[in-house]
Structure 1
Amino acid sequence: MSSHLKLGSKGEDFACRKLEELGYEIVSRNVRFKLGEIDVVAMESGELVFVEVRTRSVGIMSPPEATVGPRKLKKLVRCGQAYVEKSGWSGPWRIDIAAVTVDKGNSMKFELFKDVTVGLVEI
């Protein structure tokens, strides 16, 4: 496995632990569709949550959450819609971004951005 894939996998594991500490129930991980992949599917307070996990090493100019642009958000929404359709879920759902930063000593920092598509006019 390449070093960036190892970093991503490590970041996802860390993000899932942090999400559980915040009361999220992890339903599934790495759900694949033709359109793309949902990193984490979880439930939080009766809401279905699709979590995009972004992991970066310290020293890289842009923070992890900045790597999710309009194109990626559009893809995440489409994957979320596909999951909802396939699962038959009829309740509320949203997309969160979990940003994980890893420093040189392998210490990790977690930040959560909830409901990142709110206010977007066109998806």
Structure 2
Amino acid sequence: MAEHNDFGKLAEEMAVKFLEDLNYKILAKNYRFMKAEIDIVAEFEKEIIIVEVKARGTDAFIEPQEAINKKKMRLLISAANDFSENYKKDLNTRFDIITILPDSKNKLQITHIINAFLSIDGN
């Protein structure tokens, strides 16, 4: 497995632990629907939380959350709709991003962006 894949897997494991420590109930990891994949699906305070994990070894070029474009948002929304239809609970859905970046001392820092996007067109 490539080193960047190992880092991505580590980042997702860190994100899961971070959410669990906040009492999020993890429902699924790497949930796939057609061409979409949701990194983490959780339930928290009567909402389904769709979490995209973005990790980088550096933020020199682009902030991790900036890598989520409209196409990725559409894919996440379609996968979230599929998950919700199969989950059998009528809950609202929220889209979060967790970013993981090294700080100045090369220690990985987690940032949780709650309600990262509401809709594709900005409304």
d(CA) in 1 for partners of 2:2, 2:83: 29
Which moved further from structure 2: 56-65 or 12-21?
56-65
Residue of structure 2 equivalent to 1:45: 45
Q: Are positions 1:19 and 2:10 aligned together?
A: no
- Corresponding residue number in structure 1 for 2:58: 58
Counting aligned pairs with the same residue, the percent is 26
Distance 1:77 1:60, change over 3 A: same
What is the total number of aligned residue pairs between the two structures?
A: 123
2:84 maps to: 84
Tell me which amino acid in the other structure corresponds to 2:87: S
Q: CA deviation at 1:21?
A: 2.0
Equivalent position SS for 1:57:
coil
Matched with 2:118 is 118
Distance 1:122 1:75 in 2: 16
The verdict on how the C-alpha distance between 1:72 and 1:4 changes in structure 2, with shifts beyond 3 A counting, is same
Q: Is the 8 A contact 1:35 1:78 kept in 2?
A: no
Name 1:69's counterpart in structure 2: 69
Q: TM-score, normalised by structure 1?
A: 0.88
Q: Report the Cα distance in structure 1 between the residues aligned to 2:107 and 2:120, rounded to whole angstroms.
A: 34
Question: CA 1:5 to 1:106, structure 2 compared with 1: closer, same or farther past 3 Å?
Answer: farther
Residues 36 and 75 of structure 2 are in contact (CA less than 8 Å); yes or no, is this contact kept in structure 1? yes
Amino acid at match of 2:82: A
Structure 1, unmatched stretches of 5+, are none
Please give the TM-score of this superposition, normalised by the length of structure 2.
0.88
Q: List alignment gaps of at least 5 residues for structure 2.
A: none
Cα 1:106–1:9 shift into 2, 3 Å: farther
Tell me how far apart the structure 1 counterparts of residues 39 and 111 of structure 2 sit (CA, whole Å): 16
Of the structure 1 ranges 44-53 and 85-94, higher mean CA displacement relative to structure 2 is found in 85-94
